[in-house]
């Protein structure tokens, strides 16, 4: 998990670094372009103001000599002088801002949703698998200590674990071990009922666990969760009272079926959670692809066309400066 987070952070830093390099390259370029255009525009404006009398005289002579209409006069007495300043820099600013906004939006989506979700799934998957396996182990332990308690109540000490391992038996007695397992089993079930794990649990899992465990037997009528509660009640009865051997064997058979259903739950969780994580990773890759396509689209629709128009704009200004007298 720590390696995944480190790789994600590295990718984000790399992306931010690439954007920063692009921005560092665009800002000086934009500054030089704005400065060049501004100087060109100011030069044109100065020439127009300085050479206006000459231009006016040339126009009058053209009207008089070429068009033979000397009665037409250029009346500019009522014209107000208006200065047009260069304001082309806003075109660069908002285009750079659009690029920055897209990068920020992409980073926010990936950090706050996609990567966070993927991290959650990678965290929850081993936790659920661990609890399912641990619960299955507790069920098997419950069978062992319940059987031992029942054998002791029947007066059959020669088939108990204490008799088999007299010199190396580390436990006090069967009932004590049984009493230690019960709260652990209850706690494990509460962990699995945590709502945060629902995102990696399939409908099939919830059906087997809460509704019915693929069995027509009444023991599993309401799923593995309910079956385990019944098994706990029955085991408590066997551990504290003398019951028939046939009833004990029937209970062991039910516990075996319950353990087998947990094998199915473990396999289902393993496959489904893996598919969820793979889908999330596919979403991350898809987001990168969409982001790359957006960048290409924005470049050709926004920047490429813009630079082409700017080039034509500069050529026209240069042509106008050549028309004016020096």
Residue 312's pLDDT is what? 82
Local confidence band at 86 (pLDDT 50, 70, 90 cut-offs): low
* pLDDT one-digit tens code per residue, 220-268: 777 777 777 777 777 777 666 666 666 777 777 877 888 888 888 888 8
More confident residue, 324 or 79: 324
Average the pLDDT over 279-297 and give the result: 81
Q: Band of the pLDDT at 89, cuts 50, 70, 90?
A: low
User: 3 falls in which pLDDT band (50, 70, 90)?
Assistant: low
What pLDDT band is residue 87 in, cutting at 50, 70 and 90? low
Average pLDDT over residues 57-66: 72
Determine the pLDDT at residue 287.
79
* Residue 224 CA from chain centroid, whole number: 33
- What is the rounded distance in angstroms from the CA atom of residue 276 to the CA atom of residue 268? 12
Tell me, what's the pLDDT at 313?
77
Confidence of residue 60 (pLDDT cuts 50, 70, 90): confident
Q: What is the pLDDT of residue 88?
A: 65
Q: To the nearest whole number, what is the mean pLDDT of the chain?
A: 73
pLDDT at residue 63 tops 60: yes
Q: Is the pLDDT of residue 5 over 60?
A: yes
pLDDT tens digits for 99-141? 778 777 777 777 777 777 888 888 888 888 888 888 888 888 7
The pLDDT confidence band at residue 10, using thresholds 50, 70 and 90, is confident
Structural Rg of the chain based on CA atoms: 41
Lowest mean pLDDT among 24-28, 185-189, 213-217: 213-217
What is the separation of C-alpha 175 from the centre of its chain, rounded to a whole number of angstroms?
Answer: 49
* Cα 227 from chain centre: 37
Backbone angles phi, psi at 84, to 5 degrees: -105, 115
Check whether 199 has a pLDDT greater than 70. Answer: yes
pLDDT of residue 28: 73
The structure tokens listed for 71 are 């009665």
pLDDT at 310 (0 to 100) = 76
Q: Hunting for tokens 């936790």 — which residue is that?
A: 127
Q: Report whether pLDDT(204) > 80.
A: yes
* Matching residue, tokens 């304001």: 87
For the ranges 45-49, 115-119, 156-160, 297-301, which has the lowest average pLDDT? 156-160
* CA angle centred on 117, ends 112 and 118, rounded to 5°: 120
């Amino acid at each position: 998990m720590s390696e995944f987070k480190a790789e994600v952070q590295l990718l984000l830093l790399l992306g931010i670094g690439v954007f920063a390099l692009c921005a560092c390259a665009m800002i000086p370029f934009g500054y030089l372009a704005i400065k060049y255009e501004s100087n060109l525009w100011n030069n044109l404006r100065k020439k127009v103001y300085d050479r206006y009398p000459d231009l006016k005289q040339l126009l009058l002579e053209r009207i008089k000599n070429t068009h033979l209409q000397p009665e037409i006069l250029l009346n500019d007495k009522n014209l107000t002088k208006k200065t047009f300043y260069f304001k082309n820099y806003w075109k660069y600013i908002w285009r750079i801002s659009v690029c920055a906004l897209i990068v920020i939006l992409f980073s926010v989506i990936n950090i706050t949703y996609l990567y966070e979700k993927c991290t959650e799934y990678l965290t929850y998957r081993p936790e659920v698998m661990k609890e399912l396996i641990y619960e299955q182990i507790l069920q098997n332990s419950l069978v062992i200590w319940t059987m031992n308690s029942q054998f002791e109540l029947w007066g059959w000490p020669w088939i108990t674990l204490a008799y088999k391992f007299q010199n190396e038996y580390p436990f006090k007695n069967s009932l004590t071990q049984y009493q230690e397992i019960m709260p652990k089993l209850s706690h494990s079930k509460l962990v699995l009922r945590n709502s945060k794990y629902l995102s990696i649990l399939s409908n099939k899992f919830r059906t087997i666990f809460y509704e019915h465990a693929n069995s027509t037997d009444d023991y599993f009528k309401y799923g593995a969760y309910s079956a385990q509660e019944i098994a706990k009640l029955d085991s408590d009865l066997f551990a504290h009272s003398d019951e028939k051997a046939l009833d004990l064997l029937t209970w062991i058979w039910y516990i075996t079926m319950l353990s087998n259903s947990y094998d199915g739950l473990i396999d289902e969780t393993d496959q489904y959670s893996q598919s969820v994580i793979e889908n999330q990773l596919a979403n991350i890759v898809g987001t990168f692809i969409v982001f790359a396509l957006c960048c290409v689209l924005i470049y050709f629709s926004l920047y490429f066309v813009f630079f082409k128009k700017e080039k034509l704009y500069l050529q026209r200004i240069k042509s106008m400066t050549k028309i004016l007298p020096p």
